[in-house]
Structure 1
C-alpha cells in the first residue's frame, strides 16, 4: 500500500512546480513591460550670458597697522573696538611727560647754542677791527672766524635735536591716519609699548572694496578676449557662501602684468561699492565674470544631468523609451546649465524618475515645470 501511494503522488509535484514557474514568468514579463512614469521638460533655447566663476578674496582699499613709534607707558586707549574712525581721531595716548621734558631740554640747548653763536660773531667782528687797525693778528681773526662757524654748527645741531624731541612728543599721541573701522586692540592701558611691541590695532577702509582673484590664461582669453579694452564690457558679480548674490556690481580695475608660473594664472582685481558694509576685508567670495553680449543656447535643468566614467549625459524620451544623450555643458543659466553639444533643442529631457529608468526602458512622460 505504501508503494502504491508513492507511485500515485510522484507525478503531482512536477506539475505544481511547472505551474508556479509559468506564473512567475508571466508576472515577470508583465512587470518588465510596465512603463516607468517620468517627468520631462523640453530642451529650450535661451539667452545665456557667457562667463566663468572663480574664487576671490575681499581686500580693503586702505589698511593700516597701528604701531607705537616711541617707547613709553601707555596712558589711555581712546577708542571702542570695532568703531568707525576718521582721519585724526585719537587712538592711544603714551605718557607725554618724558617727551615734554626732552623738548624743554632741547629748547634750552638751542638757546645756549644761539648765545654762543652771538658771542662768536661779536668776537669775530672785534678781531677783524683790530686786524684792520694793525692792533691784532691774522691768527686771532682766523681763530675767531673758526669759533663763529663752530657756534653756527652747534645751533643747527640744537635745532635738529629740538625738532626730534617735538616729533617724539607728537608720537606720544597716536591718531588714525585713514577713515575706516578699527579692530581689536592688542594692548591695554598700563602696559609699556614701543616700536618692538608689534601691531597695536588694525584699521581698514570699508567703501569701496577690492576683490582679488586668479584666472587662468585660457579663461581670461575666453571671457575677456585678447584686447584689454574688452574688460570694459565684462561685468563682475559676487556670490556668498550661503548661495546669495551681492546686490552691487563691480568692474575690473587691475590686471596683473605677469603670469604666475606656478599656477599659470593671472591676478585680476575688481572694485566694488560697499555702501552697507556687507563686504568685509579677508572675506572669501565667488566671483563671476560675464560678458555683456548674451548668446542663444540650449538650456536644461541641472537636475537632468547625470555623470559616469565616460562623462556627462541626460535621458531623453524617444518613441516612449529612455535614450541616453551624451552632452557637453557650459555656463550656468539660473537653475539650468547651457548645453554646448549633444542636444539640438526640443528634446524631452527627463528630470524626474531618473533612479527608476535604464537605457531603452519604456517610459510614460509627463511635463513638469523646469524652473530654469
Structure 2
C-alpha cells in the first residue's frame, strides 16, 4: 500500500481490529477526534461550564464548525444551521414551508425512513399529496402541481446518484437528503440546484452522533418558518418574547452543540481536510467501483449504482450475511426490506479488505 493511504488509515484505530465498511451508518472515529473530545471534556470538568470565557469558547467552536461545513457545501455561513441529524433538517423544511392540502411533494422509491416518516406526517397533518417515482425518473415525473422534490442526493439503498441537472429545469423546489452525500462525494449546493440540503455529521464526516447540518438557500430562508425555536435561534435573547430571530439560517439551529462534540467534529474535519478532500473523494469512489467489479466477477448480483461510495448486493439472508461477515472481521450492514447487504467504502479502506469482502460475500 502506498504511504499516503497507509498514513491516513493509521489515524483510525478501529481499522487495527476490523475492516470497517459501515460509514454510511456511522463513520470511523479518528484518534485525534477522540482525543479532542476527551480534552474538551477534561477542561469542562476541571474548570466548569460557566462564565463569559467558557461561552466564548463554545460559541467560537460552533462558529468555526459552521464555517467549515459551509465551505464543504459551497455555501455561505449564513445559509447553514446546526442540527442533530439529517432527519432534523428534513423536518425543519417540510414543517416550515407553507405546504397546503393538494400541494404535491415528489419523492423516490429509494428513500430512507428518515425522509419517509416526515413526508407521511406532512401528508396526515397538512394534507399534502406525496407521490413516489422511480429514483432515476424523478425529473420526468415532476408535474404542474409539484411544489417540492424531496429525495436523496445519493441513494442509501443502492448508491445511485440523483440526476439533479435534469431537475434544475423544473419549477419545483429541491430538498436533498445528503446523508450519503456530504463527505462521501463532492458537494456544491449551487451546482446541484438544491434549495435545501440536509446532512449528517456522524457518517462520512466521522463526527459525533447527534450532529447534523442543514443548508437553506439564502433566498429561501424567509419561506421556512422555524418550527423549534430556542435560545440559539435568537439574535437578541433579551427580546425573546418579540421573536427577534437571527436573519439567517442560524434561526434553524437546534440548540447549543456541546463543546466536546464540536471539538470532535472539527478534529475529524481536520483529518479529512489534511488528507485532501479531492483525494478522499476520489480514492473512496475508486475503491467502491473496484469492490463492485470484484463482486460481479464472482457472480454476486450487485445493485445498480452510481459514482458513489456505496456498494449493495443481493443476499439470500442479508442479516445472517452481515453476522457471518462480522465474524470474519468485515463490518457491513443489511438494508431492511430490500434483500441487500451494503458496504460503505471510505478512503480509509484498503484494497486487501475489499478483496477479502468480495471473496467472503
Q: Shared topology, TM-score over 0.5?
A: no
Band of TM-score, shorter chain: under 0.3
Considering fraction of residues, name the structure with more helix: 2
TM-score, length of structure 2 as denominator length:
0.20
Which protein has greater RCO, CA pairs closer than 8 Å, 6+ apart?
1
Give the number of the structure whose alpha-carbon radius of gyration is greater: 1
